[in-house]
Structure 1
Amino acid sequence: MRIFIVHAHPEPNSFNGALTRSARGALSEAGHEVVVSDLYAMGFNPVSDRRNFTTVRDANYYHQQTEEANAAAHDGFAPDIQAEMDKLFWCDALILQFPLWWFGLPAILKGWVDRVFASGGRIYGGGKWYDRSVFSGKRAMCSVTIGGPPPIYSDRGLNGPIGAILFPINHGMLYFVGFTVIEPFLVHAPARISDTERRIFLGRYRERLLGLAHAPTIAYPKLVDFDHSHVLKSA
């Protein structure tokens, strides 16, 4: 398989860094091709504006989706965005590696999604969304470190279930552009666990990665399951 890892943590020696190094090593040793975009190391610009493009559709008023459609039609994406798009089209599986910050993605990774998941038909749009989008058939997974212990992220926990917190990412970003979404790999409170426990998690992560093609996925409804108002049809 061809695996694309988007890594979003500012400290190379963090547990996120250890997870990405472990992933690269295990997958490469097993004969898979691996590409990593380390966003902080790259100095990736997360701000979405006219710098996304080398083309201009309307110089007087900036509307991002209009400019994205124009860039898609005229090969007008900035080199840094085009390079990330090329990796997405190249890969069989995408992994987002990040710490959960404020119940969501770190800003640099959210900005990567804002800039790279472009509309106008390149990534989505023109009837291409969810299971009919361009990445249908590819897999994606979030690998996440979480500051608190599991009970607080449960159905009865103060922060609510982790599945609901990750829904905007798994469903609203990954599935929206067509990926089959693998159940996330979660590590709770890595700063509070022992070195032995960290090694156990790294071992479990390697096992998950080596079985990526058959890892359990999240079942989401298909577009055909909805009516013309995009409401689920009656059973």
Structure 2
Amino acid sequence: MPSPTTSLVRRALLVHAHPEQASFSSAQADAAVTALRTADVRVDRIDLYADGWDPVLRREQFPDATGYFKPQAEQLRAYGAGTLDETVREHLDRLLEADLLVLSFPLWWFSMPAVMKGWVDRVFAMGATFGGEHGIFAEGAMRGKQAVLLLTTGGGEPAFGPSDPEAYGALDAFLFHIRRGMLEFVGYEVLEPVVTYAPARMPSDQRDAALRDVQTRLGALVGG
């Protein structure tokens, strides 16, 4: 993954997915917001669980759909006609305004929580972030913008390394479908992920130090 280029980040959108507000993951999201605001970045935050986000992309969200239902074709049509679901349109507008997207989540089953994948399904609408007047990858609508993954794991860092015969595998391999298949696909420059390994196993002083490290790393990403 590339190192950050000279940052022109003025606005950031942090999308968080954890059902427990007292979790380390939620505290980590708070730390990221603090770091970005300290660096004079205007931060918008979406908390998917707290907001009760509906992750399911379905026909009923497209009242004008007829015949065979092809979700991306309906997104393209609805985006062009200005008839996207109101909440989706609001989230999409917030996404398009941001120079930096931060996806904050715990690593569950070596991926993001389902609610966040459903947010991508619905908000990365065809015609708005790719397709239509836009291409994919270098021609995606989010070109010139940056994205970073902010996550926690259940396993310790050695479990994601090559030396342990029972290791899970390289973390980058688990994140590839997010980095390449979602973020780079629509044009983002994806920065190195900010990861806290196994915070549940840390004593409180180490968790505090980990949160300070998150603030330092997020501040460095935007030149703070």
TM-score (structure 1 length as normaliser): 0.86
| Residue type of the alignment partner of 1:30 | A
2:153 is aligned to 146
What is the Cα deviation at residue 125 of structure 1? 1.2
| Residue type of the alignment partner of 1:191 | A
Asked whether 1:125 is paired with 2:109, we answer no
2:179 is aligned to 170
Q: Secondary structure at the match of 1:40?
A: coil
Q: How do 1:26-105 residues align onto structure 2 when only pairs under 5 Å count? A: 26-53=35-62, 55-56=63-64, 58-105=65-112
1:182 is aligned to 191
Q: How do 1:9-20 residues align onto structure 2 when only pairs under 5 Å count? A: 9-20=18-29
Deviation readout 1:171-211 (Å, 9 max, x if unpaired): 11111111100100111111001111111111111111112
Identify the range of structure 1 (203-212 vs 20-29) with the bigger mean alpha-carbon deviation: 20-29
What is the Cα deviation at residue 73 of structure 1? 1.4
**Which one scores higher on RCO, CA 8 angstroms, separation ≥ 6?**
2
2:204 is aligned to 195
Instruction: Check the 8 A contact 1:52/1:81 in 2, yes or no.
Output: no
Residues in 2 aligned to 1:72 and 1:189: alpha-carbon distance in whole angstroms:
41
Q: Secondary structure at the match of 1:211?
A: helix
Instruction: Check the 8 A contact 2:35/2:219 in 1, yes or no.
Output: yes
Q: Secondary structure at the match of 2:186?
A: coil
Residues in 2 aligned to 1:196 and 1:204: alpha-carbon distance in whole angstroms:
12
Residue identity over aligned pairs, in percent, reads 39
What is the Cα deviation at residue 78 of structure 1? 0.3
Deviation readout 1:84-134 (Å, 9 max, x if unpaired): 111111111000000000111101001001111111x21111451111111
Instruction: Check the 8 A contact 2:39/2:222 in 1, yes or no.
Output: no
Residues in 2 aligned to 1:109 and 1:70: alpha-carbon distance in whole angstroms:
24
What is the Cα deviation at residue 14 of structure 1? 0.2
* Alpha carbons of structure 1 residues 22 and 51: separation in structure 2 relative to 1, 3 Å: farther
List runs of 5+ in structure 2 lacking aligned partners: 1-9
List runs of 5+ in structure 1 lacking aligned partners: 216-235
| Residue type of the alignment partner of 1:110 | K
Structural RMSD (CA)? 1.6
Residues in 2 aligned to 1:156 and 1:117: alpha-carbon distance in whole angstroms:
38
| Residue type of the alignment partner of 1:64 | P
What is the Cα deviation at residue 83 of structure 1? 0.9
What is the Cα deviation at residue 156 of structure 1? 4.3
